[in-house]
Amino acid sequence: MLKQGSTIGILGGGQLGRMLAIEGARLGYRCVGFAPEGDNVAAELCADFFTARWDDTAALAAFAAQCDAITYEFENVPLSVFDTLPVDAVFPPRKALEVAQDRLAEKRFVEGLGGRPALHAAVDSRADLVAAIERIGAPGILKTRREGYDGKGQWRIESAHDADGVPLSGGPAIYEGFVDFAAEFSVILVRGRDGAVRFWEPTRNVHRDGILATSSLPAGERIAAQVDEAHALAKRVADALDYVGVLTLEFFATEKGPVFNEMAPRVHNSGHWTIEGAVTSQFANHMRAVAGLPLGDTAAVAESVTMTNLVGKDSASALARLAEPDTHLHLYGKKQARAGRKMGHVTQLTRPSRQPHS
């Protein structure tokens, strides 16, 4: 257990790091960040911030020297970074990144634990793609195996003829067959250093242009009927990785049960509702887990919750939303609003027993 005044390092400088630093401060910890040059909005909330390349071992060593524990806010931190950091002080463990950074390795790992991902095949050449389409069928999605998020690094394949038109110069890829689903949902858990696991309520997720638009609960009967199976798989994943912190698994709700889509070894956009909508938020519980503290209650505090992302210029008129009942605005402090960029989010709660103040 970290004593008050200890320092928690955060790899990454985005909005997730910003919100983690807020919760670290609430718990009496000093937070220090590290990220390459960029719009590092987390720096405003950190006691110190290192702006350096991921391969700057001297800067990483100086950063690590300040830290009693280290976490990360996104899964594309190069694995070489962890060669400079004290292994026992990093939460979640390096193994979680090794799995999550490669979509093929991720699916094989989950399959080995009894999960059901979409039909898929490795693609390293045009011939591989043609063979994958012939075996799995179309439509489908071609994705880079590494990096890519919010719809980036993905190409929809409608038929075998599309194989000639997609780029294959970005490194190894994976082809995934189309999943006929009724809804998309997230399962988010937190696992403590002692192995204790707690789940938040699942959310129904709606995407637009590959970017999460809304997360809402209750998630509906179709998702509710598949949550137990999804929870069981998520716990097997967390236990197999000896995980510490918040872990997110995304699923498709189908006629045959939950189909695994992908995992994120970190706090997640679809869990932002927990800041106001749960007894303990994903950010607070992640920092509790990293610090070795008891985990907080994950129960929802409202009858319904809807979290809406503010993407691009959506944030320009966001302040007007504050006039709506039980509505909570989070702006991330990013300097430039461009298409596809998450600038903030709004969370709206419904509490039937609560009367608005005049």
Residues 57 and 141 in one domain: no
Does 209 count as an annotated binding residue?
A: no
Whether residue 96 lies inside any domain: the answer is no
Whether residue 269 lies inside any domain: the answer is yes
Whether residue 358 is predicted with pLDDT greater than 50 in this model: the reply is no
Out of 128, 156, 177, pick the residue that ends a domain. Answer: 177
Among candidate residues 284, 286, 296, 295, the one with its CA nearest the CA of residue 91? 286
Does 178 count as an annotated binding residue?
A: yes
Residues 161 and 192 in one domain: no
Does 177 count as an annotated binding residue?
A: yes
Residues 217 and 298 in one domain: yes
> How much is the average pLDDT of 116-137?
92
Does 251 count as an annotated binding residue?
A: no
CATH code, 18: 3.40.50.20
Q: What is the pLDDT of residues 227-286, one digit of tens each?
A: 999 999 999 999 999 999 999 999 999 999 999 999 999 999 999 999 999 999 999 999
Residues 206 and 155 in one domain: no
Does 176 count as an annotated binding residue?
A: yes
Cis peptide before 325 (omega within 30 of 0): no
How far is it, in rounded angstroms, from Cα 8 to Cα 40? 17
So what's the pLDDT on residue 25?
97
> How much is the average pLDDT of 282-307?
98
Q: What is the pLDDT of residues 322-343, one digit of tens each?
A: 999 999 999 999 999 999 999 9
Whether residue 44 is predicted with pLDDT greater than 50 in this model: the reply is yes
CATH code, 167: 3.30.1490.20
Out of 50, 72, 90, pick the residue that ends a domain. Answer: 90
Total structural domains within the chain: 3
Residues 84 and 167 in one domain: no
Does 143 count as an annotated binding residue?
A: yes
Residues 334 and 277 in one domain: yes
Radius of gyration of the chain from Cα atoms?
Answer: 20
Out of 136, 153, 177, pick the residue that ends a domain. Answer: 177
> How much is the average pLDDT of 89-109?
97
Does 267 count as an annotated binding residue?
A: no
Does 29 count as an annotated binding residue?
A: no
Does 152 count as an annotated binding residue?
A: yes
Domain of 157? 119-177
Does 164 count as an annotated binding residue?
A: no
